[in-house]
Structure 1
């Protein structure tokens, strides 16, 4: 997948890009857009290889975090990748993320780089 722009509606994608820009004063919009694209690709890769021990780079993590904060957008994206097959919510305050979609988030957040300590 070389281009992830078509996987989100323009309005949704713009909202995620704005979140990346808001968290990174001085960042160029083109850079934020590329980061969001890579975060979408990372999510797709996690969906395709659920047992792989994947972890985003710090840059991609910035976009992934912004994507996750747009919960409904992230849920819809997970549904597109086949991660939303169940309607089981992870619990209160999770805005209805399906269990498989939420597991991708939780697994990746628990992974640490070699030699990394703590959270």
Structure 2
């Protein structure tokens, strides 16, 4: 964001990583730079769940309660939307039409049961 202030920074992160990176979100918002943050929110350390549960790990140790990342982002001064369907994505073109100023966070509620094809390959499934 600092190196190319003329561009919009895009951040894609899982919810576990987002929880660990809250200080970075605050810094990004405070910087005032144009940034779109997409949180893939399945209330789980998803990769770890797909990797370790088949090996006998207890899934409960890899899951956590639903976190309202949109509320957290708004509390830090960002614009934010909870995405439960495609209509909720209308916030993105609306934000860009207004100049894409500041940070827009999308808290995308996703299913923890879906495994991306590249992860299937990586995990040998």
Which TM-score applies when normalising by structure 2? 0.29
Of structures 1 and 2, the one with the larger relative CO (CA 8 A, separation 6+) is 2
| More helix per residue | 1
| More strand per residue | 2
Which TM-score applies when normalising by structure 1? 0.30
Structure with larger Rg: 2
